[in-house]
Each structure stands twice: as structure tokens, then as C-alpha cells.
Amino acid sequence: MLQNVTDAFQDIRDAVRALCAEFPDEYHRKVDEARAYPEEFVDALTKAGWMAALIPEEYGGSGLGLTEASVIMEEINRSGGNSGACHGQMYNMNTLIRHGSEDQRRTYLPRIATGELRLQSMGVTEPTTGTDTTRIKTTAVRKGDRYVINGQKVWISRVQHSDLMILLARTTPLAEVTKKTEGLSIFLVDVKQAMAKGMTIRPILNMVNHETNELFFDNLEIPAENLIGEEGQGFRYILTGLNAERALIAAECIGDGYWFIDRVTRYVGERIVFGRPIGQNQGVQFPIAEAYIEVQAADLMRYEACRLFDAGKPCGAQANMAKYLAAKASWEAANACIQFHGGFGFACEYDVERKFRETRLYQVAPISTNLILSYVAEHVLGLPRSF
């Protein structure tokens, strides 16, 4: 089955692979060392139309589904790159397409499709509430034809390389709603305008070369027409983006997993110690084989999550499980890869340590492994709520 699904997207794979081949290991290594943004790489992806994959044809995009988008992200990571620089545009897109008004779609989608605008950021996480999203403290208060935003966000990625951000804020106080998921709303924020009018950005230096920031909102006014969908229903809308994000990140982890397995398989076949290739030892073979099995299994769940998402069916369980399996598999592949490269795994010029750091992030973000287990226990198995 996996072969059939994979074959169905071979044209996309070949084209993305050819583009990625123009950006070899040295390119990504230098960007990482300089803690820079891979501007040329993202531009090339945009010019080739890949960043507009999900935009319907009538708005200038290619009208592809999440499945195809996931193949694009997988190929970037499989080539040695890191989709973290640009995956926001993919997972945010469906939130705007599915829940935005026709006016919003007409205003923004064609300009995103040409690359004039980037929709790379989503502001959900807050420093004092963490994973407990419904308790966020950022508020949006309607004043005439505007909303006034106050509060703080943390770990909001690519803000400095995006024109637009989807922001989650509370429009009705928690104490006044019957369900804690109600009273939250999402807004499209014009980043440059916001920076001039009450939004402050403070970058967070982190383990991965991932542009991410603290955001502070001090009476930021945004036009009421930037509300996406109905006021108070934002939590439901943001789940569209979060499920897409989980499925896409699963695909990225799968790309990483194959990258680690390819590299380590080649290395252990060539590295001679004790007069024979180290890959001749079963103690070396087994962890690599195990990681390969797990990456392939995760790959199946990724396609299932994407299939359901594209069919407009509930896919929360599958998106979460795909992300769980893929992040675990890529991490095991990363461990085997660094271990069997011996000392060379720690040398930057082999790229293993960079990819190792990058893939480690996905045990925590965008949702931690524990929270996925808790979701499955409660929502799939029907066990009592623990929090």
C-alpha cells in the first residue's frame, strides 16, 4: 500500500527533489552556522509554486491537497533541508481557505500565491499557560470597527519573515462562557503594521536555527474585518491548522527519518573497523533496521491523516498519531545515525548533528508526546479526563 501511495506522487517528489538538489548540505550548514534564514531556498520554493500548493487555482495556486503538501515538506527534509523555515504557510493556509470570508480569500490568496505576501506565522502559545490553550490570556476587545489586542505570546515562529500572522485571542472572558473552548477568536494580523502600532518582537535564541519569538501586544488595534470566521469560534478553526500542522510535521519527520537511515546505511557500509565494515555487526544493523521499520509504519499513518483531512473528515486522532509515530521514528533514526558515525557524528561537516538537533524539536513542538498520549487516552479510548 505504501508503495502505491508513494508512487502516486512521484512527479511532485522528482520536481521538489530537483529543486532541493540546488541547495546542497553546504548551503543548509552555512545557514545554520550563521543562524540565518534560508531566504534563497524559500524564494526558490515560492517561485516554483510549491509554497502556493494549497491555494485553489481560482486564486492563483495549484489547488493541491494536504497529502501533496506533505510530500513537498517530506522531500525538503529528506534532501537535508529543514521545512521549519517555511511550513507555516502550508498549515496556516487551510485555516484561511476553510474559515476565511470570500473577501479575505480574494484579498490575500492571490498575493500569497505570487509570493508578494507570506503567511508563515501562527500565534497560539503563551508563556504562562503553555499547552493549556483555552486558558490563554491575550484578549481582543471589540471597539467599533476595530479590535484592541493586549497580551503576550511565546515561541511564535517566522514572524520576522512573514507578512501575515494568524493570532488566537480571547474575545469573551473564560468566566463568561459555558465551554472553555468558546469565546476564542482568530485574526489575520498584518505584521509590519502591527509592529508600528503596539506589537513588539523579541527573538528567542534556541538550539535549532529556528526563527522564533516572544510577542508583546500593547493596545494593538486591528480592523474588525480581520476577524476570521465567527467571533468566539476560533478554537474550532485553529484546530484545522493544528491538525494540518501535525500531519505536515509527521511528513517532515519521515523525511528526516529517511535522511538519517540513508546516511547511516552508507556510512556503516564504508567504515572499516576491526578489518570489516561496522555495518556487518548485527549490533549496528538492528537499530537501523528498527528505525526503518518505524519510519515506514509512521508513513502509512501520515497518509491516512492527510487522506481524511483532504476529504474534510475528522482527523484529529490520525494527525496526532501520525505526528507521534513519525517524531519517535525520526528520533530513533537520528540516534542510530549519530551513534554509528562515532566521533564524526559530532562534526558539523557531516550534517548529522544539525539534523539531530532539528528532529529533536518534534518531541516537544508543536505538541508534546505526552499531550498526544493524553489525547488518545481520552478522546479515542474514552478514559477519564486527567486535566
Q: Which stretch binds ligand FAD (CB under 6 A): 60-68, 123-131, 273-281, 286-294?
A: 123-131
Closer residue to ligand FAD (CB): 154 or 288: 154
Distances (CA, A) of 313 to 68, 145, 309: 17, 35, 6
Q: Which stretch binds ligand FAD (CB under 6 A): 179-187, 255-263, 274-282, 357-365?
A: 357-365
According to CB under 6 A, which one of 112, 119, 156, 326 is a site residue for ligand FAD? 156
The amino acid occupying position 142 is R
Longest Cα pair distance anywhere in the chain, in angstroms?
A: 79
Burial 183-199 (b: 16+ CB within 10 A, else e): bbbbbbbbbeebeeebb
In whole angstroms, give the CA distance from residue 341 to residue 353: 10
Question: ω into residue 24 within 30 of 0, thus cis?
Answer: no
Q: Is 387 in the site for ligand FAD (CB under 6 A)?
A: yes
According to CB under 6 A, which one of 124, 242, 333, 352 is a site residue for ligand FAD? 124
According to CB under 6 A, which one of 113, 220, 326, 367 is a site residue for ligand FAD? 367
The amino acid occupying position 309 is F
- 136-155 residues in contact with ligand FAD (CB under 6 A) are 155
Q: Regarding beta strands 212-223 and 199-203, do their DSSP bridges make them parallel or antiparallel, or are they unpaired?
A: antiparallel
DSSP state of 115: T
Q: Which stretch binds ligand FAD (CB under 6 A): 204-212, 245-253, 270-278, 285-293?
A: 204-212
Distances (CA, A) of 173 to 99, 125, 130, 180, 183: 23, 18, 18, 9, 7
In whole angstroms, give the CA distance from residue 106 to residue 215: 28
* Residues marked as catalytic: 245
Cβ-Cβ contacts under 8 Å for 25 (sequence gap 6 or more) = 80, 351
Sign of CA pseudo-dihedral 90, 77, 296, 122: negative
According to CB under 6 A, which one of 130, 198, 232, 277 is a site residue for ligand FAD? 130
Closer residue to ligand FAD (CB): 193 or 368: 368
Residues in contact with ligand FAD, counted by CB under 6 A, come to a total of 21
According to CB under 6 A, which one of 5, 15, 177, 365 is a site residue for ligand FAD? 365
Q: Is 364 in the site for ligand FAD (CB under 6 A)?
A: yes
Closer residue to ligand FAD (CB): 155 or 340: 155
According to CB under 6 A, which one of 46, 89, 94, 157 is a site residue for ligand FAD? 157
Q: Binding residues for ligand FAD, per CB under 6 A?
A: 122-125, 130-131, 155-157, 206, 210, 212, 361, 364-368, 370, 374, 387
